[in-house]
Structure 1
Amino acid sequence: MLVLRHRSCDGILFRMTAVPDRAATEPLREDIRLLGGILGDTVREHAGTEIFDLVEKARVESFRVRRSEIDRAELAEMFSGLPTDQAVPVIRAFSHFALLANLAEDLHRERRRAIHVRAGEPPQASSLAATYGLLADADLAPSDVADALRHALVAPVITAHPTETRRRTVFETQHRITELMRYRDRTDLDGREEAQVDLALRRQILTLWDTALVRLERLRIQDEIVSGLRYFEASFLEVMPQLNRELRTRLREMYPGVDLLEDAMVRPGSWIGGDRDGNPNVTADVVEMATQSAAATVLVHYLRQVLELERELALSIRLTDVSDELLALAAFDDSPRRADEPYRRALNWIHARLTATADELVAEELDGRLDLGAERYTAPAELLADLDIVDASLRAGGDGLIADDRLLALREAVKTFGFHLSSLDMRQNSDVHEETIAELFAWAGVHPDYAALDEDEKVALLIAELRTRRPLVGPGAEFSAQTTKELGILAAGARAVRALGPAAIPNYIISMCTSVSDMLEAAVLLKEAGLLRRGDDGGAASGSSPVPVPGLVCPLNIVPLFETIEDLQQGAPTMRAVLAVPEYRQLVESKGMLQEVMLGYSDSNKDGGYLAANWALYRAELDLVKMARETGITLRLFHGRGGTVGRGGGPSYEAILAQPPGAVRGSLRLTEQGEIIAAKYAEPTLARRNLESLVAATLESSLLDTEGLGEDAEDAYRILDELAVLARDAYSDLVHRTEGFVEYFTTSTPVAEIGSLNIGSRPSSRKQTQKISDLRAIPWVMSWSLSRVMLPGFYGTGAAFERWVDGDASRLQQLRELYQKWPFFQTVMSNMAQVLAKSDLGLAARYSELVADKALRDKVFGMIAEEHTRTIRMYFAITETDDLLADNPALRRSVFNRFPYLEPLNHLQVELLRRYRAGDPDPQVQRGILLTMNGLATALRNSG
């Protein structure tokens, strides 16, 4: 096997091993050789030759392990007893290499796409260009397209995650390295220029090396809010408005005569600061900070853009025609030195009104202010109206080319982001709602023991309360700390809605929703906050239409979250029952008959395993689509996906196309988490590609037949029904029925350390118990990922396939046919194969050695190993391939090239876990564990 080396003065640090399709991958190899070589030089020069040699030896031995030249135990022995002050820089070196390898791979994908475009090849699947072609071929009626896109929305919802803890400096340094590498690749440099770029790269990689990857103190939710807002400045503020403008223009060209996409289709959401399910750190102050910080971010952007427009639009009235409306807008500024520059004067006034708006909406004094005593804009529509005047005047004067630049981008940004920037969802567990309602009812004399009532009695009481106008809470009311906090958070949300508009907090999500009373409890709490009112009371506290409407109105959607397999199965009946309540249906009618439902990927997987959870979700969507059709509502599904396959992750384009017919219908919301956010949205090119993929899949799923089963659908559904039962039984046999499993899990993985070290602001469990059901999904999945077992992404599936086929060749053929024609089944299999390719049971066996009870260790690890082997065997049989990544060459290349570099991180994590659990007081031990978690998460790219 050919080996390529990048030599530094004293040796070799990182190198690439040859892979198939060498010509296509050579630029990637060159990039990694360059970055790895610079990193190696940096390690040697700043950590010392001894550390450099240790890193180099670990690298060489890791590749020898992959080539089966040495046993893993020999490599593990190398780290046994290694002083912690030497282990930490080794961990840092391999973690930095993973980060740089990610960067190089992203640039290579960008490079390959550009080659395809320049070669005039057909547009690639998941691009909007390819989607437009498919839509054109389908010859759709404009009216049908308009109907399907009536509630058009694609909303990536940013959520906090313990592995996304990188410092702003690290984030910005990565961006600078990306730009330097992009410049180096695209520019014909002479020797001197290339040396200058390489010197700049060395400077940035040294900055990276000298900057701590993670924080010393525990991450606060305030830090997570700030981190989430980075992506707006990095990409969203530029890319989302641009994409919305292009979408509207192209679709209206394709389907004339209907006003498509009046509202922006791509709009951002966030959970950071509003999701208090199991997170005691979310308070009223945090909700206020989240909404205020978001508003400040977008208002600063607007102020800067208007200031730039003032500088650019020095057009003279002596040289171009100007509309009367523009002159009227300019009349507010009577500056003599700008007498013949009406555009500047008009923008000066817009600037002043924006300043007044910012002063009113956010507490901090923003940069770029212009205080002229102007009145504030009361709504984004007023700002947009003034900008439209400027736009219309430019176009009427023949200056449309100028209008199509910064001004057009700003107008589209206002349509996309309003004054709120990003819609903050509020979420709380249904148990907390019940406890809060019980206290309120008891204090108000409604009922002394609400929790003791049966479901029908609760519903009757809640409906009666929704019919009244009176509040439950009066002066002098005293409640428990939890209820006081809940009321405070709801009041903060109401203030944000009143100040920033209904888009600021449009959704109220109910975790672990199982009944009609769960949904009506949320409605009563929103009523108590003044958000839900009768329409003829002058409108809810929402800025909604001043025209009185009969019945109840609320600016927030009440969104049930169905999480466990049983709850998913009961989702449609629950929705039918709540829509039969006249008061609730009034709320839906006030929303144009739109009802959002959230589906939980994480807890359903933890509850029943990979295959059973995926099928429960598909079945739930089928049932919900039928329910929506029969009840006359428009259904919007919100997919609570995590980054990893065990939490619904995997390629988004394929996942959306794999939804059942009618499940998308022009709108889609999905959560984006942790290291996945950086991988998708860290800079404009990445963000554009990934957002475009979401939109392309949404359009195709809404307007085309993507299921492909036809008359065979019911037979396919029956097969998956049977497989899901078998898979859940096999999964439950291990996770829920094997004595000692919890001990094995908590001992053989870093789950305890995820909870005890400074990782994320949220506790690792909803309750302080040792039950798997109470553990949050992120640490559950993350722990199995770090230990390289990847159990949530495959366990139970192989056993289900094997038992269902049971040696019958005709049954195996049925599964093969499903794989060939059904996108859902293809996606399930492909994502599982990705997990299996990233798993490594040799390394997992090292983690299992942390379990002191040998009998327990052998039993549980033996079950895992057997299922792992069985699942791979059945995957090969069904797909008729012997390559887990045959359909994903980019991931195959990544796994082949980078996984030997993960080996030292795993061995060092095990070693440091031993020391930490043995009571080693050195704080560097804890630091090292945290760094291994961060490094492995970076390298795996979807660890939790």
Structure 2
Amino acid sequence: MRADVRMLGALLGQVLRECGSPGLFEDVERLRLATIQAYDEESTHAFERATEIADSFSIERADEVARAFTCYFHLVNLAEEHQRVRILRERDGQPGREGAVDTVATAYAQLRREVGDDEAQRRLDGLRFQPVFTAHPTEARRRAVSTSIRRLSELLSQRDVASEGGAEQHRAHRRMLEEVDTLWRTAPLRAQKPSPTDEVRTVMSVFDETLFTTVPHVYRRIDDALRGEDSGASAPVVPAFVRVGSWVGGDRDGNPFVTASITREAAQIASEHVLRGLERAIERIGRGLTLDAEGTPPSSMVVALWDAFAAAEEGTAAEIAARSPEEPHRCLLLALAHRVAATRHGASNGYGAPEELLSDLRSVQDSLAASGAKRHAFGGIQHLIWQVETYGFHLTELEVRQHSQVHREALAELDAGGELSEKTQEVLEVFRAVADIQRTYGLRAAGRYVVSFTQSAADLANVHRLAQYALPGTPPVLDVVPLFETFADLQAAPEILAEVVEFPEFRARMAATSNRLEVMLGYSDSSKDVGPVAANLALYEAQRKIALWAKDAGIALTLFHGRGGALGRGGGPANSAILAQPPHSVDGRFKLTEQGETIFARYGEPAIAMRHIDQVAAATLLASSPSVEERTSSAAARFADVATTMDAASRERFFSLVKAEGFAPWFATVTPLEEIGLLALGSRPARRGLSVESLEDLRAIPWVFAWTQARINLAGWFGLGSALEAVGDEALLKDAYREWPLLQTMIDNVAMSLAKTDERIARRYLALGDRDDLAKLVLDELTLTKEWVIRLTGSNGLLENKPILQRAVTLRSPYVDALSLLQLRALRELRAPSGATGSGTEDEQRRLLLLSVSGVAAGLQNTG
């Protein structure tokens, strides 16, 4: 990896010398070497020297330098991803390797030991992993930049397999230089915000390039590991356990640009993509199925299906038969591909539902198996079946989300009986859109309706009332999902749920779905509400109580985790978080939001996507094993007093900061909060309409993003030091860290967050606010938290127990520092009194700041 970084860095240096303005490369090197020295030596003098260099540039040169460092981070990220893929490929096929415990195969083996073969298979059959892609705006890269990086990734792979010094290696090197030149010349900032439809199409690229083909390969690899040589020769034991959800085009909470027409369009775009993918996949498998009728005779069902197609599509059938003489299975598959194409075009000869296609594919599979062609039946045909089971004709299960207050206001208008406002008419139109989508693409295509800020059972009943207003007597089928976000709402959740399941609409829907119920938990707003420590503890307790209530009531509960990419929004490794959940709260089903840069980081590259899905599914399967449940429950009981103390102390400390008089405007001054709202990240507004005089309606994303940009990362750790200090017993806390999964996950995540802070730079940001008391409060808590985390992890420094992660952070930090110094320079100018600007216009300073924001986001990665 180091060699790749050096090579890519050298290519960038060559491009800067060839294409940059005179002296650019030398200026970049001066700042780079100065920040490395300042980081390595931790000397005040070296840091001041780096600051002087950053401040000495003209505004034009500072702009170019910021772009250069941002390009460098894109290349470093690429090299790291490429190395991860290399390692995964080297490990491939080594089931006994060290560290392989986090796979579905090994989790299943452990379950068999603990609960027996039959019960383990039952749990595998019920396994469900559902990532839900959201449009929350944390991906700072333009799509053009992402595309350029993807091309570079392909060239790196070609270079890997080329002969040393050979023509192919020289060709790859030349093309990489050309691509780095493209990356340098591509404007790094979007000229305008993407529309919701743009966001839908961006997410679709992940399906087209990765997920559509990757997910069945995940199933196959697991089946291979479980069954060895038998895999692919008989029916698989692995179910199609992935279901992909989407809020893109459906989440209208605070986003006025997401309308009912956008929701309809999002469903249509997704269906177009999956049907096109299925058509190509069936045709590809079909063309290869050149098995003659004599050696592989078709079943009567296959003959009947072909005859029915030939009668309906005489011309097309004749063309297919002419190309595939005496190859009945090939003929039928090509006929199925033709029918899928007809479905995509809305023709009458298409399929009415994915179940019809599944039935036809299973008929082909049964015929092949019966005629002895088992490898074909349970090879390529099984992949097609898995794809249809996973994606249907809809691709993503589109979910609607709206704020409970919007529902209350709409119902007040409707009950009053007067003329309806445009806003209320739009609320009703959403239900009609859902009904249309269900009629066109099936019930799985849409139907979940998430209610933000659920504070009472009435908030959930209101959705059904509105549906009746929209479509009297014929409302769409709805699964109304409460979203509990604030600390108070999390505490009230069990009582609200107990009341709502008695409502007739809920009872009827649960009766139709084997008593299933879904509940969503918000991580980011609860963290902004009471601080990250108290929020984590409250989330655990809420899950514990909800899970126990559901178990006692015989309800099949799915908890939907509203996690973001950043630690302040529930981020961090998903598999370790799953294993730290309360008993009965997972039960083989795990659903979470994926957003912004985490979508592309986890699902943008096939090998990494396969590994991520396998890891998360393994943890989901293992979380309900007796050993894991015993560990989490006994630890929670043993350390209950520790949790109580930490909760109270952390909240008190957090409130002393955020409830201090003047905190909100101070926060907006010492971070680039206002400027972040100017970045064309996504279609959604950064705030729910209020000024920074109040944090109440500030979205959690800019809250987290702004602290990250200031290199403080406060949203991920503030209050933990005080919480641990209040407990005080180091031996007890070390035991808790070792034995209590919740605390271990919390501290490990905080260690990563702290490692990405920089106190010297943080001090400069805090100094912009002229509030020494608040700055001292932040810095004191930072010092205290670092001390405790280092003590509990048994190290001399942060992340010493995770050397690979530590090395990655250490390699990046000096380069992030360079961008932070440029950002600070711009922020100081923008915060200066009017007319006191040192160099460059206000627009130029703002552009420099936004460039640095994009670069810091690329450098720190889990930013939003």
Same fold per superposition (TM over 0.5): yes
Give the direction of change, closer, same or farther, for the CA distance of 1:37–1:598 in structure 2 (3 Å limit): same
Confirm or deny: 8 A CA contact 1:621 1:663 kept in the other structure.
yes
Question: C-alpha distance in 1, partners of 2:60/2:565?
Answer: 32
Q: 2:791 aligns with which of 859, 868, 877?
A: 877
Aligned residue in 1 for 2:860: 940
Confirm or deny: 8 A CA contact 1:79 1:908 kept in the other structure.
yes
Aligned residue in 1 for 2:107: 131
Aligned residue in 1 for 2:723: 800
TM-fit CA distance, 1:573? 1.3
Cα deviations across residues 476-509 of structure 1 (Å, max 9, x unaligned)?
x731121011112221122111111111113111
Question: C-alpha distance in 2, partners of 1:925/1:63?
Answer: 25
Aligned residue in 1 for 2:846: 926
Aligned residue in 1 for 2:733: 815
Cα deviations across residues 269-292 of structure 1 (Å, max 9, x unaligned)?
111111111111111121012111
Aligned residue in 2 for 1:349: 335
Confirm or deny: 8 A CA contact 1:163 1:933 kept in the other structure.
no
TM-fit CA distance, 1:330? 2.5
TM-fit CA distance, 1:150? 6.6
Say whether residues 1:681 and 2:657 are aligned partners.
no
Question: C-alpha distance in 1, partners of 2:236/2:93?
Answer: 31
Give the direction of change, closer, same or farther, for the CA distance of 1:185–1:531 in structure 2 (3 Å limit): farther
Question: C-alpha distance in 1, partners of 2:562/2:472?
Answer: 25
Say whether residues 1:321 and 2:297 are aligned partners.
yes
Secondary structure of 1:638 counterpart: strand
Secondary structure of 1:883 counterpart: coil
Question: C-alpha distance in 1, partners of 2:742/2:527?
Answer: 17
Aligned residue in 2 for 1:904: 818
Confirm or deny: 8 A CA contact 1:270 1:424 kept in the other structure.
yes
Question: C-alpha distance in 2, partners of 1:438/1:588?
Answer: 28
Say whether residues 1:48 and 2:34 are aligned partners.
no
Paired residues for 1:661-810 under 5 Å: 661-707=583-629, 708-709=631-632, 711=634, 713-736=636-659, 738-770=660-692, 771-805=694-728
TM-fit CA distance, 1:396? 3.0
Say whether residues 1:505 and 2:446 are aligned partners.
yes
Confirm or deny: 8 A CA contact 1:494 1:529 kept in the other structure.
no
Question: C-alpha distance in 2, partners of 1:761/1:654?
Answer: 32
Q: TM-score, normalised by structure 2?
A: 0.92
Give the direction of change, closer, same or farther, for the CA distance of 1:375–1:563 in structure 2 (3 Å limit): same
**After alignment, is 40-49 or 55-64 more displaced?**
40-49
**After alignment, is 168-177 or 666-675 more displaced?**
168-177
Confirm or deny: 8 A CA contact 2:543 2:582 kept in the other structure.
yes
Cα deviations across residues 404-423 of structure 1 (Å, max 9, x unaligned)?
55433222111110000011
**After alignment, is 225-234 or 189-198 more displaced?**
189-198
Question: C-alpha distance in 2, partners of 1:267/1:826?
Answer: 30
Secondary structure of 2:627 counterpart: coil
Aligned residue in 1 for 2:837: none
Question: C-alpha distance in 1, partners of 2:273/2:52?
Answer: 51
Aligned residue in 2 for 1:25: none
Cα deviations across residues 839-858 of structure 1 (Å, max 9, x unaligned)?
1121112222332xx3x1x1
Aligned residue in 2 for 1:214: 189
Confirm or deny: 8 A CA contact 1:251 1:260 kept in the other structure.
no
Aligned residue in 2 for 1:110: 85
**After alignment, is 200-209 or 297-306 more displaced?**
200-209
Question: C-alpha distance in 1, partners of 2:566/2:578?
Answer: 16
Secondary structure of 1:702 counterpart: coil
Amino acid corresponding to residue 179 of structure 1 in structure 2: E
Secondary structure of 2:517 counterpart: strand
Amino acid corresponding to residue 428 of structure 2 in structure 1: L
Aligned residue in 2 for 1:449: none
Say whether residues 1:892 and 2:831 are aligned partners.
no
Secondary structure of 2:677 counterpart: helix
Confirm or deny: 8 A CA contact 1:152 1:261 kept in the other structure.
no
TM-fit CA distance, 1:923? 4.4
Paired residues for 1:532-547 under 5 Å: 541=476
Secondary structure of 1:503 counterpart: helix
Q: 1:239 aligns with which of 214, 217, 226?
A: 214
Secondary structure of 2:582 counterpart: coil
Say whether residues 1:654 and 2:576 are aligned partners.
yes
Amino acid corresponding to residue 880 of structure 1 in structure 2: G
Question: C-alpha distance in 2, partners of 1:484/1:374?
Answer: 33
TM-fit CA distance, 1:251? 6.7
Aligned residue in 1 for 2:313: none
Aligned residue in 1 for 2:357: 383
Paired residues for 1:81-92 under 5 Å: 82-92=57-67
Question: C-alpha distance in 2, partners of 1:150/1:524?
Answer: 36
**After alignment, is 108-117 or 598-607 more displaced?**
108-117
Paired residues for 1:438-517 under 5 Å: 438-443=412-417, 478-517=419-458
Give the direction of change, closer, same or farther, for the CA distance of 1:186–1:720 in structure 2 (3 Å limit): farther
Question: C-alpha distance in 1, partners of 2:148/2:679?
Answer: 26
Secondary structure of 2:443 counterpart: coil
Amino acid corresponding to residue 10 of structure 2 in structure 1: G
Amino acid corresponding to residue 745 of structure 2 in structure 1: T
Cα deviations across residues 849-875 of structure 1 (Å, max 9, x unaligned)?
332xx3x1x111111000000111122
Amino acid corresponding to residue 340 of structure 1 in structure 2: E
Question: C-alpha distance in 1, partners of 2:283/2:842?
Answer: 53
Give the direction of change, closer, same or farther, for the CA distance of 1:408–1:150 in structure 2 (3 Å limit): closer
Aligned residue in 2 for 1:60: 33
TM-fit CA distance, 1:903? 1.2
Aligned length: 839
- Kindly report the root-mean-square deviation, in angstroms, between the aligned alpha carbons of the 2 structures: 2.5
Secondary structure of 1:599 counterpart: strand
Give the direction of change, closer, same or farther, for the CA distance of 1:936–1:709 in structure 2 (3 Å limit): same
TM-fit CA distance, 1:721? 1.9
Q: TM-score, normalised by structure 1?
A: 0.85
Aligned residue in 2 for 1:272: 248
Confirm or deny: 8 A CA contact 1:149 1:260 kept in the other structure.
no
Question: C-alpha distance in 1, partners of 2:275/2:8?
Answer: 38
Amino acid corresponding to residue 682 of structure 1 in structure 2: G
Q: 2:530 aligns with which of 587, 597, 608?
A: 608
Paired residues for 1:187-206 under 5 Å: 188-206=163-181
Aligned residue in 2 for 1:824: 742
Secondary structure of 1:568 counterpart: helix
TM-fit CA distance, 1:248? 6.5
**After alignment, is 148-157 or 882-891 more displaced?**
148-157
Paired residues for 1:90-169 under 5 Å: 90-116=65-91, 121-143=97-119, 145-146=121-122, 148=123, 151-169=126-144
Confirm or deny: 8 A CA contact 1:700 1:706 kept in the other structure.
yes
Question: C-alpha distance in 2, partners of 1:137/1:939?
Answer: 44
Question: C-alpha distance in 2, partners of 1:307/1:734?
Answer: 62
Confirm or deny: 8 A CA contact 1:51 1:86 kept in the other structure.
yes
Say whether residues 1:841 and 2:841 are aligned partners.
no
Question: C-alpha distance in 1, partners of 2:624/2:697?
Answer: 36
Confirm or deny: 8 A CA contact 1:679 1:941 kept in the other structure.
no
Question: C-alpha distance in 2, partners of 1:278/1:710?
Answer: 38
Question: C-alpha distance in 1, partners of 2:227/2:147?
Answer: 38
Secondary structure of 1:52 counterpart: helix
**After alignment, is 373-382 or 609-618 more displaced?**
373-382
Question: C-alpha distance in 2, partners of 1:396/1:145?
Answer: 26
Question: C-alpha distance in 1, partners of 2:503/2:372?
Answer: 57
Which blocks of at least 5 consecutive residues in structure 2 are unaligned? 311-316, 835-839
Cα deviations across residues 447-478 of structure 1 (Å, max 9, x unaligned)?
xxxxxxxxxxxxxxxxxxxxxxxxxxxxxx73
